[in-house]
Amino acid sequence: MSDKLLYETVARVLRVPLETIDIDSSPETIARWDSMAQVALMLEVESVFSVRLHSDSLMALNSVRKIRDALVHLGALPEAP
Protein backbone atom coordinates (compact mmCIF):
# COMPACT_ATOMS: atom_id res chain seq x y z
CA MET A 1 0.00 0.00 0.00
CA SER A 2 1.41 3.36 -1.01
CA ASP A 3 0.55 7.01 -1.57
CA LYS A 4 0.67 6.24 -5.28
CA LEU A 5 -2.18 3.77 -4.86
CA LEU A 6 -4.22 6.47 -3.11
CA TYR A 7 -3.53 9.02 -5.85
CA GLU A 8 -4.49 6.48 -8.52
CA THR A 9 -7.72 5.71 -6.70
CA VAL A 10 -8.66 9.38 -6.47
CA ALA A 11 -7.84 9.96 -10.15
CA ARG A 12 -9.85 6.92 -11.28
CA VAL A 13 -12.97 7.75 -9.28
CA LEU A 14 -12.92 11.44 -10.24
CA ARG A 15 -11.94 10.59 -13.83
CA VAL A 16 -9.07 13.12 -13.93
CA PRO A 17 -5.41 12.62 -15.04
CA LEU A 18 -3.14 11.19 -12.35
CA GLU A 19 -0.73 14.16 -12.72
CA THR A 20 -3.41 16.55 -11.49
CA ILE A 21 -3.57 14.83 -8.09
CA ASP A 22 -1.36 15.92 -5.19
CA ILE A 23 -1.54 15.88 -1.42
CA ASP A 24 -3.56 19.11 -1.40
CA SER A 25 -6.16 18.02 -3.96
CA SER A 26 -9.70 18.66 -2.71
CA PRO A 27 -13.12 19.82 -3.96
CA GLU A 28 -11.53 23.29 -4.06
CA THR A 29 -9.02 22.21 -6.71
CA ILE A 30 -11.00 19.55 -8.63
CA ALA A 31 -14.39 20.56 -10.02
CA ARG A 32 -15.59 16.96 -10.39
CA TRP A 33 -15.16 16.36 -6.65
CA ASP A 34 -18.81 17.01 -5.68
CA SER A 35 -20.76 15.34 -2.87
CA MET A 36 -21.69 12.26 -4.96
CA ALA A 37 -18.06 11.86 -6.00
CA GLN A 38 -17.07 12.18 -2.33
CA VAL A 39 -19.25 9.18 -1.43
CA ALA A 40 -18.06 7.16 -4.43
CA LEU A 41 -14.44 7.99 -3.52
CA MET A 42 -14.85 6.92 0.11
CA LEU A 43 -16.43 3.60 -0.92
CA GLU A 44 -13.61 2.98 -3.37
CA VAL A 45 -10.95 3.86 -0.78
CA GLU A 46 -12.59 1.43 1.67
CA SER A 47 -12.46 -1.31 -0.94
CA VAL A 48 -8.92 -0.65 -2.19
CA PHE A 49 -7.35 -0.29 1.29
CA SER A 50 -9.59 -2.84 3.03
CA VAL A 51 -10.71 -0.40 5.70
CA ARG A 52 -14.07 0.61 7.16
CA LEU A 53 -14.64 4.31 7.81
CA HIS A 54 -16.91 5.88 10.42
CA SER A 55 -19.98 7.54 8.90
CA ASP A 56 -18.71 10.97 10.12
CA SER A 57 -15.49 10.45 8.14
CA LEU A 58 -17.29 9.70 4.88
CA MET A 59 -18.04 13.38 4.32
CA ALA A 60 -15.24 14.83 6.46
CA LEU A 61 -12.31 13.26 4.59
CA ASN A 62 -12.59 15.75 1.73
CA SER A 63 -8.97 16.16 0.67
CA VAL A 64 -6.19 13.80 -0.28
CA ARG A 65 -4.26 14.87 2.83
CA LYS A 66 -7.19 14.07 5.17
CA ILE A 67 -7.75 10.69 3.48
CA ARG A 68 -4.04 9.91 3.80
CA ASP A 69 -4.00 10.84 7.50
CA ALA A 70 -7.03 8.62 8.14
CA LEU A 71 -5.44 5.68 6.31
CA VAL A 72 -2.23 6.14 8.30
CA HIS A 73 -4.27 6.23 11.50
CA LEU A 74 -5.99 2.97 10.46
CA GLY A 75 -2.64 1.37 9.68
CA ALA A 76 -3.42 1.06 5.99
CA LEU A 77 -0.60 3.43 4.90
CA PRO A 78 2.89 3.95 6.38
CA GLU A 79 3.43 7.23 8.20
CA ALA A 80 6.36 8.32 6.02
CA PRO A 81 5.51 8.60 2.32
Interface residues with other proteins (CB under 8 A) are: 35-36, 39-40, 43-44, 46-47, 54-55, 58-59
- What residues have CB less than 8 Å from 21, skipping those under 6 apart? 7, 10, 11, 64
Nearer to other proteins, 23 or 74 (CB): 74
Spatial distance between the Cα atoms of 28 and 81, rounded to a whole number of angstroms? 23
Spatial distance between the Cα atoms of 50 and 53, rounded to a whole number of angstroms? 10
In whole angstroms, the minimum distance from the beta carbon of 44 to other proteins comes to 8
Q: Is 77 helix (H, G, I), strand (E, B) or coil?
A: coil
Nearer to other proteins, 5 or 58 (CB): 58
Nearer to other proteins, 8 or 46 (CB): 46
In whole angstroms, the minimum distance from the beta carbon of 50 to other proteins comes to 13
